[in-house]
Amino acid sequence: MIRLLPALLALAVPATANAALAVGAKAPDFSTQVSLAGKPKPFSLAQALKKGPVVLYFYPAAFTQGCTIEAHQFAEATDDFNKLGATVIGMSADPIDKLNRFSVEACRNKFAVGSATAGTIAAYDVTLPRNPAMSNRTSYVIAPDGKVIFAHTAMEPAGHVTGTMEAVKAWKAAHRKG
The model's pLDDT over 103-124, given as tens digits with 9 standing for 90+, comes to 999 999 999 999 999 999 999 9
Please say if the pLDDT value at position 15 is more than 80.
no
CATH class of domain segment(s) 2-174: alpha beta
Active site residue 67: yes
Please say if the pLDDT value at position 7 is more than 70.
no
Nearest alpha carbon to residue 140 among 32, 24, 33, 5: 24
Q: Are 155 and 137 in contact (CB under 8 A)?
A: yes
Give the residue with greater pLDDT, 131 vs 165: 165
> 23, 48, 62, 67: which one is catalytic?
67
pTM: 0.89
Percent pLDDT > 90 in the chain is: 84
Q: What are the residue ranges spanned by the domains of the chain?
A: 2-174
pLDDT number for residue 19: 53
